[in-house]
Structure 1
């Protein structure tokens, strides 16, 4: 599933092609995605796109009367195409624009979503319980320290919990914890203030680096693929279980946490 950096690069990729354009039609070929696409989404027709934003893993296309929320789920792709391009299997939604283009969602597994927030009223509560964005000033050491007090859950599980902070997916949690010298199994409530400072800094740096790396893929959103994917990166621990630590050469270990792989260095991480 695409994580925050991949969705942010997706936003950057489509924004220049749709921002300021008028929506002339919304074609829904398959209404049953993760949640049914509401009929009210047609309210956006004949409106001008005033902003293309992101909240957590949701793309937000804002018009005067509300917002279209798009979630790519596990298999979704989105791209800007000529509106006359013949749809293929799993091309479920087109947002047709006045410039002759369309924003097309393809989702084979249908775990994605297209929702409508009238007047920005989050009646379904999709965004209401989300924690702060990790790359903003709202996510800082004091916040993480206070939030983690008395929490017995492992720190990796804790930082991957969207009500705590959004967008810290499995890859980026593994990498941030390694750089911070913190084992993924450590109880969140045992984090010191200094560890929270180091961890918040590293989460920000790891995510920002991934977004920068993904900048080379921006053109893909106007071509055939449109898949955010994961960007080619130099990873310290993720996917490297059984290999030597790049810092101390100790063999990296792997544990399963919430059905996800956690890889760490028993020497560098305490």
Structure 2
């Protein structure tokens, strides 16, 4: 079972997985399309049993990260990268083995998760803050900064269902990046809004990446991984099959040192 603990001031953030596995049993699978859809979502491999099928999204993953690690996740779609990130975030608990995460985690995987369209923007800021471990008063103090960064103006006091999709994403991004975590999890670098806002968003993400003690970044862009990471692992069918420097793992994946092709 995954255990997530907030770091104390004298404890450095860390991630420790020991033989961690994540399985999704499907007991009444009604055809191949269900299996395919789930595989695209979580990755891994499928095993067929008498009472249904099981998606083995992660299998026996042992991995330790410490302060200063900038980990790149490499692998094809469905290799298990997103599932591993969700284990790091605490969203998924291992069905086998263990995962211990020490420190404040920020996950930019599903930035609109937990937001309620019937609540105002300000109420959603408080809601997400409380979900993240803040008190209501602490979360309320973030409202002015989040409203200013998202450029919502008076809309921050209107129900989120009145927002355009772009406004919703700007609010979600501003909430998700309002504070600096110990551990930052990214599935590709996010681009939000028009060019001016996207530039501002990229600057904020890069600042968070610089300040975070541990960074985990999944990307199909070798240039991005080389720029931000100092270590890499490659996944295939839910297993770690390579662990080393970014260049060594990219080479194992088939990308040479002077290549920037999409993974």
TM-score by length of 1: 0.28
Q: Kindly indicate which of the two structures has a greater share of residues assigned to strand.
A: 2
TM-score by length of 2: 0.28
Give the number of the structure with larger relative contact order, counting CA–CA contacts within 8 Å between residues 6 or more apart. 2
Q: Kindly indicate which of the two structures has a greater share of residues assigned to helix.
A: 2
